[in-house]
Amino acid sequence: MLLHDLMDDAVADVTADLPELARTSRRQGTAARRRRRAITAVGVAVAGTVLAAGVYALVPGDRGSDSTVATDVGTEVRVGELSGRTAPITARGAAAALADAVTDRVPGTISSLQGSADRGEAMATLVFLPDHGPGPAGTVFLNLQPISMAPEKPGCAMPWMATCSLEQQPNGDIRRTYLEEDDTEFGQGSQRLTVEVISPDRGLRLVVSAMNTSPSADGAMGIMPVLTSGELRDIAALPWWGRTRLPVEYVEAGERLDDYADATENES
Amino acid sequence: MTDLADDPVTAPPAPGTFDELVLATGERMLRTAVLLTGDRHAAEDLVQSAYAQAYARWRLVSRAENPAAYTRAILTRLYLSDRRRKRVREHPLHDKADVAATTGDPALRLSLMEALATLPPLDRAVLVLRYFHDLPVAEVADQTGLSESACRTRASRALARLRTHFPDLND
């Protein structure tokens, strides 16, 4: 007997009133939208100019006509369609870009943004609480470094990797995905899921990770990190990441972030 | 049963509106939720919450490569998050009348739901996605937040447990 058939049979006559389901879900979804907007007291619109010709060496990723980054202190940063123009990276811009990349994929609330951009390297971190879970919120971390910072021969045999996979991408990039458990800082039960992209063509090492807890969680741990490996890979694959330049819309949006602190004193 | 929304050969065109998505996938989603929760009413709540979130982010969902898979991912994560929050220790179904009213062999079905209820939520989710939806391990891993090797381990362990109830079970 096949498990598939057994499961099929167990729910064979479960039926739903689909029009009613659509109606009630729409109503509940509308209420959720309103709640989300209610915490965004200040709206800052950064209108992006849509240029027909791309400036990026790589085309901008697929995204909506705008997207919203909501922080828990009531700031909304609206980033329009990316124009293709770039500007020198700033710590705030890196934080805004990370926040948008996260919430463009998973609905949720962003808080405690931090960033740094110094000597050809940038970092951003934030705390993210997905809408679909009770929490706790988890830390999301981004690092943009020169490729010289990457391991010479990235592998999966490190003792601190609970799981790991290594993939060669068609464009020559190497992507490593790994899970660390029981982080020394956060203790037993903590998980950090990381996607690392080493891109020889761009001279870039990109690391993006998500945890199942954060410094403000008081030891509470989620059942899994707040982003999945697929979501982290999607974020890492955004074509405009660079350690020295970012889309100008993010650099501008970063200037308007409220719940933000520099991670270092030396922002470039 | 084939999940049309996941079948690249027979998949219908992607739903253009939210209502079309619900009409195309709602029944399958509810059956998934029943297998996950073991309870019809909890399943209805879960499915409604998942679609509500999909609606709240419709611009994002509608542009996803597979809106149905996206919504199922929301449902899976909602289920896992809810289990953690409530720290519910799942028990065998109490509402046997509900189960007995369904088709097929009632005794067998009750045993399956009872057996599923003995599994940890993550193991249960892995089995449902892997064997009810026939998803590849990589996709199950993405939807549950596990690594592929952890998925295989959990599936193997959960199957072994089910085989204590169903010795003839094939995966």
Complex ipTM > 0.85 = no
Question: In whole angstroms, what is the distance from residue B108 CA to residue A254 CA?
Answer: 59
Whether the CA torsion B81, B82, B87, B88 is positive or negative: it is: negative
Q: Please tell me the predicted confidence (pLDDT) of residue A186.
A: 76
Q: Please tell me the predicted confidence (pLDDT) of residue A162.
A: 81
Average pLDDT over residues A3-27: 91
Per-residue pLDDT tens over the stretch A105-147? 888 889 889 999 988 899 999 999 988 776 799 999 999 999 8
Average pLDDT over residues A183-196: 84
Number of structural domains found in chain A: 1
Question: pLDDT at residue A235 above 70?
Answer: yes
Q: Between the ranges A49-58, A66-75, B32-41, B152-161, where is the mean pLDDT highest?
A: B32-41
With CB atoms and an 8 Å threshold, state whether A28 touches B168.
no
The residues spanned by each domain of chain B are: 1-88
Whether A249 is covered by a domain: the verdict is yes
Range of the domain at A160: 39-262
Whether A33 is covered by a domain: the verdict is no
Question: pLDDT at residue B106 above 60?
Answer: no
Question: pLDDT at residue B87 above 50?
Answer: no
Per-residue pLDDT tens over the stretch B60-78? 788 778 889 989 988 998 8
Q: Which of residues 73-112 of B touch A (CB under 8 A)?
A: 73-74, 77-78, 80-85, 102-105, 108-109, 112
Whether A3 is covered by a domain: the verdict is no
Question: pLDDT at residue A266 above 90?
Answer: no
Mean pLDDT of chain A: 79
Q: Please tell me the predicted confidence (pLDDT) of residue B45.
A: 92
CATH of segment(s) B1-88: 1.10.1740
Question: pLDDT at residue B134 above 60?
Answer: yes
With CB atoms and an 8 Å threshold, state whether A14 touches B102.
yes
Q: Enumerate the residues of chain A whose CB falls inside 8 A of the CB of residue B75.
A: none
Size (chain B), residues: 171
Nearest chain B residue to A225 by CA distance is B145
Of B48, B82, B150, the CB nearest to A21: B48
Question: pLDDT at residue A261 above 60?
Answer: yes
Tell me the count of A-B CB pairs closer than 8 A: 179
Ranking A8-17, A188-197, B3-12 by mean pLDDT, the lowest is B3-12
Nearest chain B residue to A23 by CA distance is B19
Whether A241 is covered by a domain: the verdict is yes
Taking the whole predicted model, whether its pTM rises above 0.95 is answered as no
